[in-house]
């Protein structure tokens, strides 16, 4: 017989875990939609963000959350500087531009991971926070871990802000025009390089900040990136390539599937179930679970 208390707690765990994944999926989906870059470095941005939290938090009274504005600015600047390099290798006369983008970001990921290992060594680091500790127990429902709840709110808020920017501002319209047809956008007088840098910078800023939250939720570890790269891929495929609203659905499906499979089937079956879902979605609806993204071809 299903224990209702455990069941509701698993739902809470799954939703909040999904919220954490949304923070990564939003930026990743944006980068793919606008720049058509499948970014292998996404997980390493998370990892570097977490390490920035571990290093900077002690300077702010051991509060990881106070580090977020700095990480946002730093990662935006770094992303805006990196984007022209990506643009350079994915355009022009080079054959296989998608592959060039993959190779470039794979190299970037390797460089970031190696750099952190060299500087910090292999140990995990705690990202301290006394503001976001413990959980809020709701009678009859379950416990909401504060840090996970705040992370999920951050992720969904990030999505809402991006959606607003994309659909309610001139800059957003320019980015959507670039995503629609880069050549025509240029003919309309849109400064493509500028808006692509803004989009990639925003993606890097959101992903790096997500890293600080993830560091507070778990910890900062040099090897953590690969897992988040895999989950980001999972999310954009499930959401529909480049389709931002689908990210929330994908995050919830990912989180709930993990939670229910781990408790009611086996922790060892989680990846099997997740890949089975991806397989079925790709077979039945290659444009994502809502059928509104680009086809995964």
Partner 1 sequence: MPRKHDDRRTFLKSVGAAATTVGLAGCAGLGGGPERDTFLLGAVTSLSGDLRFGGGVTQRGYDMWADTINREQGGIEIGGDTYEVEVEYADAQSNPSAGADAASQMINAGADALLGPYSSNVTLSVCPIAEQNSMPHITGSAESPQIWQEGYQYSFGTIPTVSIIGNEATSALLNLEPQPESVYVTGVNEPFSEATAVSMRTAAEDAGVTVENYELFPRDTDYTNVVSAAQNADPDLHLHGGHIGSHVDLVSAASQLGYSPDGFLMHYGVNTGSYKDGAGAQAPYTFGATVWIPSVDRSGGVLFDSPQAYADAAEAAYGSAPDYTQAGSTAAGIVYQEALKELNAAPPLSQDDKDELIGILEEIEVNTFYGDVTFEVGGEYHHNNINTQTLLIQLGEDGSPTIVGPEDAATGEPNYPVPAWDER
Structure-token pair, residue 82: 């990196």
Q: Does 152 bind partner 1 (CB under 8 A)?
A: no
Structure-token pair, residue 139: 């009678």
Q: Does 151 bind partner 1 (CB under 8 A)?
A: no
State the Cα–Cα distance between residues 137 and 151, nearest whole angstrom.
17
Q: Does 125 bind partner 1 (CB under 8 A)?
A: yes
Q: Does 191 bind partner 1 (CB under 8 A)?
A: no
Please pick, from the candidates 115, 135, 245, 286, the single residue that binds partner 1 as defined by CB under 8 A.
135
Q: Which residues have CB under 8 Å from 88's CB, separation 6+?
A: none
Window 238 to 297, contacts with partner 1 (CB under 8 A):
258-259, 262-263, 266-268, 270-271
Structure-token pair, residue 260: 């229910």
Cα radius of gyration (the chain): 19
Contact 170, 236 (CB under 8 A): no
Residue 193 or 266: which CB sits closer to partner 1?
A: 266
Structure-token pair, residue 162: 């991006």
Residue 163 or 270: which CB sits closer to partner 1?
A: 270
* Among 83-91, 98-106, 115-123, 191-199, the segment contacting partner 1 (CB under 8 A): 115-123
Q: Which of 297, 287, 167, 294 is nearest to 242 (CA)?
A: 294
Q: Which residues of the shown chain bind partner 1 in the complex (CB under 8 A)? A: 3, 5-6, 9-10, 13, 16-17, 121-126, 128, 130, 133-135, 137, 143, 145-148, 217-219, 221, 223, 227, 258-259, 262-263, 266-268, 270-271
């Amino acid at each position: 017989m299903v224990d209702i208390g455990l069941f509701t707690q698993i739902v809470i765990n799954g939703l909040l875990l999904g919220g954490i994944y949304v923070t990564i999926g939003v930026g990743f989906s944006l980068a793919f939609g606008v720049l058509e870059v499948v970014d292998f470095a996404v997980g390493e941005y998370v990892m570097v963000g977490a390490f920035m939290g571990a290093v900077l938090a002690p300077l702010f009274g051991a509060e990881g959350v106070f580090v977020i504005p700095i990480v946002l600015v730093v990662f935006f600047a770094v992303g805006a500087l990196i984007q022209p390099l990506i643009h350079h290798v994915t355009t022009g006369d080079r054959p296989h531009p998608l592959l060039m983008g993959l190779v470039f970001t794979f190299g970037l990921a390797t460089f970031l991971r190696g750099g952190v290992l060299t500087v910090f060594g292999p140990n995990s680091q705690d990202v301290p926070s006394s503001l976001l500790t413990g959980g809020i127990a709701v009678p009859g429902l379950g416990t909401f871990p504060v840090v996970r709840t705040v992370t999920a709110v951050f992720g969904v808020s990030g999505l809402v802000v991006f959606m607003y920017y994309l659909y309610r501002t001139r800059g957003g319209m320019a980015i959507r025009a670039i995503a629609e047809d880069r050549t025509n956008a240029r003919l309309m007088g849109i400064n493509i390089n500028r808006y692509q840098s803004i989009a990639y910078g925003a993606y890097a800023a959101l992903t790096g900040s997500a890293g600080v939250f993830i560091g507070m939720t778990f910890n900062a570890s040099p090897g953590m990136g690969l897992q988040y790269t895999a989950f980001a891929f999972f999310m954009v495929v499930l959401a529909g390539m480049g389709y931002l609203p689908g990210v929330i659905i994908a995050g919830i499906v990912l989180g709930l599937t993990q939670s229910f499979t781990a408790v009611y089937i086996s922790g060892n079956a989680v990846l099997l179930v997740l890949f089975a879902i991806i397989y079925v979605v790709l077979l039945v609806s290659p444009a994502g679970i809502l059928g509104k993204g680009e086809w995964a071809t």
